Amino acid sequence: MRDIKLHKGLGQKTSDWLVIPLHPRYHYDGPDAIDGGGITVREWEEKFGTQLEFLEMVCRRLGVDVFALAGLDHKVSFE
């Protein structure tokens, strides 16, 4: 998210539209939990993919451009 200037700090987001839905195992209840202290954001991204990649995947799966809804100029490919 830093690459496109969307990072505000730990646990902060630019817009409520830019929320990545995670299964509890990856959010707070498991060895790969990002908020449970299991691994760092960098380690999680190296293992599973970047936050930007996940948001773009959510856009494609839902058919909704959350970046546009957040008022950001980031193009998502829906192909």
pLDDT at position 32: 81
Q: Are 30 and 38 in contact (CB under 8 A)?
A: yes
pLDDT at position 60: 94
Q: Which position has the higher pLDDT, 2 or 65?
A: 65
Predicted TM-score (pTM) of the model is: 0.71
Could you state, in order of their start, the residue ranges of all structural domains in the chain?
2-69
Residue 3 carries which DSSP code? G
Token pair, residue 26, equals 């990856």
User: What's the pLDDT tens digit per position in 21-73?
Assistant: 888 888 888 788 888 777 888 888 898 899 899 899 999 999 999 999 988 88
